[in-house]
A and B are shown apart, each in its own frame.
Chain A
Amino acid sequence: MKTLVQNKTNSYCETGNYHTFCPISCVSWLYQKIEDSFFLVIGTKTCGYFLQNALSVMIFSEPRYAMAQLEEGDISAQYNEYSELLKVCLKIKKDRLPKVIFWIGTCTTEIIKMDLESTAKKIEAEIEVPIVVANANGLDYSFTQGEDTVLAALIKKAPLRKNKSLNTTPQLFLFGSLPNFISTQLSLELSKQGIKVAGWLPSSKFTQLPSIAPGDFVCGVHPYLSRAAYTLIRQRECRLIIAPFPIGPDGTRAWIEKICVTLGYSISGLKEREKQIWNKLVSYTNKLEGKTVFFTGDNLLELSLARLLTSCKMKVCEIGIPYLDKRYQAGELELIEKICKEQGIRMPKIVEKPDNYNQLDRIREFQPELVITGMALANPLEARGINTKWSVEFTFAQIHGFGNSENLLKLITRPLSRTQHLVNT
């Protein structure tokens, strides 16, 4: 592995030549989450082509998203960016009546230095619809980090709670976009411990953004939300609870525990709860135990998933990950280290900014029984006799909380079950 540059024990950095989705893809789940929103991606045909193919059939259901497609005149500043965007936004306002318009800046707006922030302020005043500007481009971010940039921008728009007097007890807010059904499930899980969740970011309506006060506690549910977290800390003076993420039975328990401990609540029945769930999952964990798995890395869920699979006694060859924020993911890192220690195995190698080509070499060498990777490599690897799981599915499937553990393991075991099925028939 001579191409790897070692940062710290077991953590390396490669060339960053890997396949991932462009972060503007977050539009596809965020417009569904925030029901009164409209997402306008200000970019080129390249961005539009990606979205229309990645969103696939969603695109035919008149989604609340569109491209403001830049033409040569926009690039050479022949057209006035203010009046062009005003025209587009007026039309959106008329046709769709959104309560908020998100502007998603792209590589092109970044390179030609369009000042979206100040243009947005002017147009906002003109059309009387709030505009949130987020730069979710492929120059700076990968895939799920798109949601991070949008949330960070959204937090700046969240109302401040006025009663700042010292005797108001701090409240708990959770951040990260999840389908309502799942966020309610997580809130309920906490309420079993006596903890009340004061609100979620994002809320399902822009008009119902929760109001946060300095000193409030916040905790993330996704591993890719470090910007949002720092925005909450720095701009809203919130206190961040650093915990593992509620993915898998082990993660969910650790997440709740950490919140309880931080807020000074006693923990009841959690251990048993986790055990119960594991018992239900025996048929899956039996399938996974002892097998090897390799993450090529593209959506930042890798560390949490690798931790879960280590709990299932799989051997993790490599955790490829686009970007690892060691502070924000500290809880998750600790947990996987602890699990490894308990099992008496070495911490798996973490490869940041991986190089897909080199990874293919290592996959050839390791011959892992399962590779979790993007679609560009999935079929070619299958054709070479290697089981793969398409990583993008983890972003869209429901994987959070105790209640979705089975769903998650079903996803992971599916390729193995299929192989078994093909062998047996």
Chain B
Amino acid sequence: MKLAYWMYAGPAHIGTLRIASSFQNVLAIMHAPLGDDYFNVMRSMLERQKNLPKVTTNIIDRHVLTQGSANKIIRNIIRKDKEESPKLILITPTCTSSILQEDLDNFIKKSSLETNADVLLADINHYRNNEYQAADITLKQIIHFYIKKYTNSKISLTKEPSVNIIGAYSLAFHNQHDILELIKVLTELNIKINLILPKGASIEELEKLPKAWVNIVPYRETGILAAKWLKENFNIPYISTTPLGHENLAIWIKELEYCLKSKGRVNLNFNNFIENKTTFNSQSFWFSRSIDCQNLIGKSAVVFGDSTHVAAITKILKKDLGINILWAGTYCISDQNWFKHTLKEYTNNIFVSENYSVVEKLIKIASPDAIFGTQMERHVGKKLGIPCGVISAPIHIQNYPIGYRPFFGYEGANQLIDMIYNTFSLGMETILLEVFGGHDRQVTETASFLNKGDIYWTKEAENIFAQIPKIFQKKIKHKIDTYAASLNKTIVTPEILYKAKASLTK
């Protein structure tokens, strides 16, 4: 049993539902108590969905507990098949159904005899998988099932180079914009899109999945399993680099070039494209070289979120902008080896945790100039007076913007730099206001709080201390006290104060 107030990743069934509801003609039936269809509310509210929900529930109630749900679930499957004629009905287990231990597989076999739709049981386990893992598993399961079902003859590649994009799905962070941006880049490179999965795809289209030359998996959390399986079975190479930021984009495009070459396009060369784009087409590349960004050098930040976004954005902060990364962390436990490995050259402190209070504590200890994190970190930042840019799910409705806000591609790089710059300068603005006495600068108040510890401050030292902006005072007092203690001093004089400052700023 675990005491918990907040979690970063949702339960397994949410991941399955995000995949199922992304496809065009898939209907999910949750095996769950009344009230667990909250997913529909999220979809309708956050994504402002116009479509009627594609998720219904086979309700577990008292009656089911005593009689079992066999008849009810079979009836419901057949009913939904008639009412909405989907291609696939995906039965989705929940925490409740997983402890009932009914033979769902058997019910499904029975019902599928009477349905036009295929019926599948999502292969997930509430106690073993989280939302992201379940999404990954479910997507692979569906692809696997249909490719087995559809492909008997030999599959040939498309004539022109083409790719599948695996990783467009509902309720993901800025996903819709990201995918559009990828399409833009690919179109400019003259590469055809074979299939975008799962959002918007219909089940029948899965048949042509193996025709693509390369698979692109832009988000590490979801799609990798499917890509790996396609690699093993159809020898389709996949790219799992996140096309976020210039450097990653360049790597991504070179990888694409490499994969296409391996498939026979030996003359391809995207170098010019990359160079043109980077130097001329993109604002952010220049921006990070402009005078404004000089001010960011040496500023400190912490980064937390899913592994995809944290890894890519940490790299940009450190390499492009010279920001000191105090730590970087993720809640994606299952991907931690990759995460640690990728980030080790950008910061010395990498951690993996699903516990928000650990993250909060670490933010307090690091006390950075800016935070890049999820909604939770944004609120922590608010409490501590540290600005925060939101870079990863979990998110609220304001992170589903109507305007075009990709994180991927060249436009995404522009947007990201804006966001980073604004986050820091918002912090700067607050500080400047403090310095110039814009907000209530209660100089007199310092005395009471200064002499609270074991170290005594002289009146003169106090007066000098009062010049320091209020938001830094607590932190700086602590540092000076520690410094004085390290010299075995119990009184802080102006002299000690300046010495401490010199030693701290070096």
Interface residues of A (CB under 8 A from B): 16-23, 44-46, 48-50, 52-54, 56-57, 59-60, 62-63, 65-72, 74-75, 79, 81, 84-85, 87-88, 91-92, 107-108, 111-112, 137-140, 142-143, 357, 360, 374-380, 383
Contact = CB atoms under 8 A, between A and B. Distances in A.
Contacts, number: 155
Judged by DSSP, the binding face of A is: helix
A63 B53 CA distance: 31
Given A45-B7, A108-B96, A139-B65, A374 B41 contact: yes
B99 interface: yes
Interface of B: 1-7, 10-11, 13-14, 32-38, 40-45, 48-53, 56-57, 59-62, 65, 83, 94-96, 99-100, 126-128, 130, 376, 379, 396
A44 B126 contact: yes
B36 A46 contact: yes
Nearest to A49: B10
A16 B63 CA distance: 12
Given A66-B4, A377-B52, A379-B50, A72 B127 contact: yes
A111 B65 contact: yes
A418 to B, nearest CB: 16
B40 A67 contact: no
A414 to B, nearest CB: 17
A308 B11 CA distance: 40
Contacts of A53: 38, 42
Contacts of A85: 1
Contacts of B100: 111
Contacts of B11: 44-46, 49
A380 B50 contact: yes
A379 B36 contact: no
Given A45-B11, A380-B51, A108 B34 contact: no
A79 B7 contact: no
A54 B33 CA distance: 17
Contacts of B35: 20-23, 50, 138, 142-143
A362 to B, nearest CB: 14
A69 B62 contact: no
Given A45-B7, A357-B56, A84 B1 contact: yes
A66 B34 contact: no
Given A75-B99, A139-B65, 5 more contacts: A16-B59, A44-B11, A44-B126, A69-B2, A377-B53
Nearest to A88: B3
B62 A139 contact: yes
A104 B14 CA distance: 23
Contact of B1 (A63, A79, A92, A360): A79
B7 A108 contact: no
B379 A139 contact: no
Contacts of B4: 48, 66-69
A360 B51 CA distance: 13
B379 A60 contact: yes
B279 to A, nearest CB: 43
Contacts of A65: 5
10 contacts: A44-B95, A50-B36, A52-B6, A69-B3, A71-B1, A79-B1, A81-B1, A108-B95, A378-B44, A380-B49
A139 B61 contact: yes
A74 B130 CA distance: 18
- Most-contacted residue by chain B among A56, A107, A137 (CB, 10 A): A107
A400 to B, nearest CB: 25
B1 A376 contact: no
Given A44-B95, A74-B1, A374-B41, A22 B36 contact: yes
A119 to B, nearest CB: 12
- Most-contacted residue by chain B among A46, A72, A383 (CB, 10 A): A46
B501 to A, nearest CB: 36
Nearest to A67: B4
B5 A67 contact: yes
B41 A375 contact: yes
B60 A107 contact: yes
Nearest to A87: B1
A380 B53 contact: yes
Contact of A139 (B14, B33, B40): B33
Nearest to A59: B6
B44 to A, nearest CB: 5
B377 to A, nearest CB: 11
A138 B126 CA distance: 17
B33 A137 contact: yes
Contacts of B10: 45, 49
A376 B99 contact: no
Nearest to B1: A84
B44 A375 contact: yes
Nearest to B38: A50
B96 to A, nearest CB: 5
A281 B4 CA distance: 46
Given A19-B37, A56-B396, A357-B56, A46 B379 contact: no
A81 B292 CA distance: 58
A360 B53 CA distance: 12
A44 to B, nearest CB: 4
Contacts of B57: 17
Contacts of B376: 60
A2 to B, nearest CB: 14
A54 B36 CA distance: 12
A20 B61 CA distance: 14
A75 B53 CA distance: 32
A17 B56 contact: yes
A52 to B, nearest CB: 6
A52 B52 contact: no
B50 A376 contact: no
Contacts of B396: 56-57
A18 B127 CA distance: 27
A138 B1 contact: no
A52 B34 contact: no
Q: Enumerate the 8 nearest inter-chain pairs by beta-carbon distance, A residue then B residue, closest first.
A: A22-B35, A138-B33, A383-B50, A376-B40, A138-B35, A84-B1, A60-B379, A44-B95
B154 to A, nearest CB: 43
B34 A20 contact: yes
Given A45-B11, A53-B38, A376 B5 contact: no
Nearest to B75: A15
A379 B36 CA distance: 19
A30 B411 CA distance: 47
A250 to B, nearest CB: 31
Contact of B3 (A57, A62, A68, A143): A68
B210 to A, nearest CB: 35
Nearest to A81: B1
A139 B94 CA distance: 13
Contacts of A69: 1-4
Contacts of A143: 35
Contact of A70 (B1, B36, B128): B1
A82 to B, nearest CB: 11
A111 B126 CA distance: 15
Contacts of A45: 7, 10-11, 95, 126, 130
B5 A379 contact: no
Nearest to A376: B40
Given A68-B1, A108-B99, A375-B44, A140 B61 contact: yes
